Amino acid sequence: MKKLSDNFGKEVNKLLSVTNNIVIVTHSNPDADAIGSSLGLYNFLIKKRQNPIVITPNSYPEFLWWMPGNQNIINFYNDKKSAVEIIKQAQIIFYVDFNETNRIDKLEKYIKQSNSIKIVIDHHPLFNENIDYILSDASASSAAELVYEFIVLLNNINLIDEKIAKCLYAGIMADTGCFSYNSSKPRTFQIVAELLIFNINKDEIVSKIYDNFSTDRFRLLGYCLNEKLTVFPQYHTAIISLTKQELKKFNFKQGDDEGFVNYPLSIKGIIFSAIFVERVDYVKISFRSKGAFATNKFARKNFNGGGHLNASGGKSKMDIDKTIEKFISLLPNYKNELDENED
Ligand code: 5GP
Ligand code: MN
């Protein structure tokens, strides 16, 4: 675990004791870990008698709205004026589940203008930015796991309650695909065991996040698997793509494609999967892999993106057909790596 100061806990506690205006920011298109870790931290800071505010750069799917504190989140996209004013007043800004300000889109400008103290709690590979305190571990399952470690470092385990436990559990569970990846370290399960002490209903949390498809979303998934999947067995790769027209046909709502990119990895011999989704002025790409194939390097080098070894993303300004063409043309360069890492 990297932290800038050996006295991290003491220093941050001291800082919090003299600060009122605390803002917690998530990355754009927040997922269950972004919302779970941010709201876990939010509920913790409230227990510490602070008055934090969570700001998301844009909206997020309804299946995350159940988390305690969600009703107080400010969505910058919908409420720009309030968000900007709050950021101006901020004395501390937490970056949770990201560490590069290009992950927060239009919010970046305002966050960069702020001369507040910045604290990062994140599990993505770390990039140099102007950060005062960093709690970063790229081998941690999730940002939610690191929020738990943050609470430990502040010597405040006694403040954890059911609300905090629910949010952190949701983040850890979702970022490990229900404990199927990124979760081989005993520490993750130790933390989960500590959270379960608070009588949270873990089965209900899984159900709220995963058994909550709208009919449109469910049909869109079927359409992707049946009609939009292309398999390249020689490269152990499979892709899915969705155009704007297709999204419209299925009444697409933000987050409806969440997790679709994982499905092709269930095909025997496939270790690399990508989904291309047309957005208003760019193509959003998600990459997933099994084993050692580094999707984050692939994303950074070829699609202006990044992320984790097995889960990353990027963007393309070319049209969707050209973007896919580019992707396919790159595969031969990676043939050896893809062959090596075949199951
Ligand atoms: P997703 O495919 O679910 O959008 O993102 C998977 C992972 O890749 C996330 O952990 C996210 O942080 C990272 N990621 C997604 N898109 C981008 C991007 O455009 N740039 C960078 N640096 N990381 C991304
Ligand atoms: Mn995460």
Tens of pLDDT along 107-141?
999 999 999 999 999 999 887 678 999 999 999 99
Please tell me whether residues 48 and 170 are part of one structural domain.
yes
Radius of gyration for the alpha carbons in the chain, expressed in angstroms and rounded? 20
The CA distance from 228 to 193, in Å, is 40
Please tell me whether residues 269 and 286 are part of one structural domain.
yes
Please tell me whether residues 189 and 222 are part of one structural domain.
no
Please tell me whether residues 186 and 243 are part of one structural domain.
no
Instruction: State if residue 171 touches ligand 1 by the CB under 6 angstroms criterion.
Output: no
Tens of pLDDT along 286-304?
999 999 999 999 999 999 9
pTM for the whole structure: 0.93
Please tell me whether residues 240 and 331 are part of one structural domain.
yes
Task: Select from 190, 210, 230 the last residue of a domain.
Answer: 210
- Which pLDDT belongs to residue 126? 86
Side chain identity at residue 200, one-letter code: I
Please tell me whether residues 196 and 229 are part of one structural domain.
no
Domain CATH for 97 = 3.90.1640.10
- Which pLDDT belongs to residue 127? 78
Report the mean per-residue pLDDT for the chain: 95
Please tell me whether residues 232 and 171 are part of one structural domain.
no
With cut-offs at 50, 70 and 90, classify the pLDDT of residue 343.
Answer: low
Residue 64 is given by DSSP the state G
What is the distance in A from the centroid of ligand 2 to the CA of 228? 27
How far are the Cα atoms of 30, 180, 273 from residue 293, in angstroms, in the given order?
A: 25, 17, 11
Which residues keep their CB under 5 angstroms from ion ligand 2?
33, 97, 142-143, 175
Instruction: State if residue 68 touches ligand 1 by the CB under 6 angstroms criterion.
Output: no
Rounded to the nearest 10 degrees, the angle between the axes of helix 143-153 and helix 32-47 is: 20
Please tell me whether residues 182 and 61 are part of one structural domain.
yes
Domain CATH for 284 = 3.10.310.30
Overall domain count for the chain: 2
Task: Select from 180, 210, 240 the last residue of a domain.
Answer: 210
Which helix (DSSP H) or strand (DSSP E) does residue 246 occupy? helix 244-249
Instruction: State if residue 37 touches ligand 1 by the CB under 6 angstroms criterion.
Output: no
Task: Select from 150, 180, 210 the last residue of a domain.
Answer: 210
Look at the block and give the residue holding tokens 């720009």: 80
9 Cβ partners below 8 Å, 6+ apart?
A: 153, 154, 155
- Which tops the pLDDT comparison, 159 or 2? 159
Please tell me whether residues 204 and 223 are part of one structural domain.
no
Q: Tell me the mean pLDDT in the region 83-95.
A: 98
Question: What's the domain range around 75?
Answer: 2-210
The residue count of the chain comes to 343
Instruction: State if residue 255 touches ligand 1 by the CB under 6 angstroms criterion.
Output: no
What is the distance in A from the centroid of ligand 1 to the CA of 192? 25
The CA distance from 103 to 305, in Å, is 10
Q: Is the pLDDT of residue 204 over 80?
A: yes
Rounded to the nearest 10 degrees, the angle between the axes of helix 162-175 and helix 202-210 is: 50
Q: Are 74 and 89 in contact (CB under 8 A)?
A: no
Please tell me whether residues 205 and 301 are part of one structural domain.
no
Please tell me whether residues 194 and 221 are part of one structural domain.
no
Q: Which residue owns the Cα nearest ligand 1 atom 22? A: 306
Instruction: State if residue 315 touches ligand 1 by the CB under 6 angstroms criterion.
Output: yes
The CA distance from 312 to 294, in Å, is 9
Q: Tell me the mean pLDDT in the region 26-52.
A: 97
Please tell me whether residues 155 and 187 are part of one structural domain.
yes
- Which pLDDT belongs to residue 265? 97
- Which pLDDT belongs to residue 6? 73
The CA distance from 87 to 106, in Å, is 13
Residue 180 has φ and ψ, to the nearest 5°, of -100, -20
With cut-offs at 50, 70 and 90, classify the pLDDT of residue 341.
Answer: confident
Q: Which residue owns the Cα nearest ligand 1 atom 2? A: 286
Tens of pLDDT along 246-269?
999 999 998 899 999 999 999 999
